[in-house]
Structure 1
């Protein structure tokens, strides 16, 4: 069957249209004359602004504006803009009859007759106060965030920046708003960044940006900083936005690099310690053979060698003993570095007295006064603490040997938040100009002929102290003693 021609539906008459407009309650819809006088009024306008039609018809529409906007000439400018461009849109504060304010979305449209003459304006106003307050609360929360926060629209333009982002990137807020986000992206990444952004908006979901890749931000001064970025999509009436949370990880990167360097150094140190221990251990066997053959030769040739030959043989034996002491020091140092310290209560005062008695028994003719403060007890490794105190006290005993009478003191004192333990003597001392060499292995501040020793004792002491989380230093004066 052929299609029958349709009869056009009648256009709604003016009365129907008027009734339709008046029935709308969510929008204020009214008309004003070319001079800005209110000529129509709907129920939505009465509900939003508080005026009944009898109160407002004929009044100038500037009564809906804040006093400061009226003084600034805003109502007149809006009419002029609508007359020129045909339409004007704005968001801003407006006032009700009772003086209260609301945040309004306003559309002002110029109405022209067929003759081209301006007949007036239609004005549609919507209350967006709740939306405005929510946005303000959102901005306050974002601005108070400890991380840099930047919100970007679908076109990649920055629409929101918090104060932390200003500090991080070095830009003032007005310098970033409405700028492309690529402003903050290093040049070498800018070409690919729009594609990444499009992919995110195509399937928006909260996630970390650039997983598995190093990310960098470009500061205003041209420097780059390593950053981490978390992306969060936000669905709004204006469309989808992405809120980026940005963290400067410069300090974390630096700490990671330092930790990696430290671990590499520790690995090298462990290898060197193992090597040193092996070398020292392997050297000891042939050295003892040399010492044994030297002693056998001395006994076999007694009375047959010349004085010069006997002197050479004694020098060989002396150097063998000296070398054995160095190897023993190296082995002890290696054991200290490889062994984990234990922790238990140790009476340092008792330990010092025992070591002092041992030194006196070895050289009973020495006139040395030991002054030991009683009751010094700490938590630590007994073996390691024995090493520390034995080395320090033996040094004091050795470097006071050229004094007829000597004094060696052990004690403790508070210095701020720290407890400082000390061994003090009145012996040879040393020049403080060379104090930086004091704790190096095989470093000696006196000529080899002055005092015996291999130069390993204080190096061992320093390492043991560090293993306990402490530090050691020395103060001294030539021929007036030293304090460790």
Structure 2
């Protein structure tokens, strides 16, 4: 019985393999002989290149390469590499029959017989033009994006590794932070934070929040390369792969310092306006109460006088004296209330600020005790203002008393004068102009924000009952604002307090005074003595002779005055000063630092008893205490 089998089962394995290869359309699979001529051709090859098997069989495979690559010998190098390395793989533009090109991915494998003979090459090519174009489009898009990011200068845009190290850097980052890309790439982004924020772990928390929540946003101080700081708005976004793995962070930072300062300035202006309106309302209320109270006092005082007329025996009684004292205290209290309410009549005159303070210095020094150090720093040129001198002295004394009471264990009070130009509403509600600035600073207990907010209110006090009326600072506020000025306060608990007075400069008098000063400069003298009474009288002696006098109670204060004063012509110092450098030591230091300053030593002891150095008697003039004005004038004329 004869049996038969399907034709395909009669094919050999090689024939079946050839059929499979020929049928593949997505890949060009063909064979080359050892010289590179095409010996087989499948449908995929025909589809990619446009050549039929009849067109291409027997032709060299270099026909698929563009002319420049053929001239460069690339086809032969491909075969050589395949034979040498066992494989050649590359991508490049290839030619179709019609002359068009496509992007091909090619692999060439050598075919070696068992005996080692080269039989030819197997070549597999795939048309990946679409993939190539998509990659080029993506690359162009990425390049465009990089150029866009790099061109942004208002924002710092850069990438971080998962650990927080900078991996790229745009022009905005360089402009805002000051670092070039070479300086910053590879460093940790925590370098941009303040030391306090780094110690608090803020950079790490930022990355942790971004990693956990996908985004972190915050504002805060950041540090530039030169060490300066700016206020930054920061956004950190986590970047994850398609598999969800964290591959880094995108960070965008903007310098919003100007916006923040504008907002703070607006807030300060609103606060100043609110404070001004509040104090205005309190002033109106207080003024009304004071007037009513004054009327009541007038009735009581008149009634008391009638009572003593009708009953003379009561005139000198203890009860009457108590009533009179009460009425007197009531009258003083009324004047204080009217002062805060700015309803107290003023007697303004033109005065020079430094001179006012110098003339009142002895009283200010007596407001403290021996544990309080005074430092008076005068503006180098005269500052002319128009105000009520007596009320100004009272206000200054109130501030100094307030400062000394904040330092029960001792400390330092600094009174400083200055002249400056202010912008409109730079301080409270003051208009733009030139102002005298007088500050009283202590290093005492300081005030809480709650106390600062109420410190100028009448009757507000932090002292124990019976220790104060709470009207001292309200008087200062009322007088200064009535004089067209402003009082500000800055304080920190445990650090100290500074009250600053701003008074408009009398520009006409200031200009005239400056012209006169140019014509003739008044000589200056620095008087040093630890005895306040003697210090005051000596300063007056010098002033009567036409000198501008500075004073100091010890050597350390004197050296500070010598360093900051524009020019001291004469140093007049006591020799023996307990708990301080001596007058002779002060004189020697002054001679080294200020060789043109005339130095006069004064003491109740004869000079030889003070020092065995006879050379000093030749260097410095000496005046025995007590001395007369004539003695002082004589030694001022001497050459020493």
> TM-score higher than 0.5 here?
no
Normalised to the residue count of structure 1, the TM-score between the two structures is: 0.45
Q: Which has the higher contact order (CA 8 A, sep 6+)?
A: 1
Larger radius of gyration between Structure 1 and Structure 2: 2
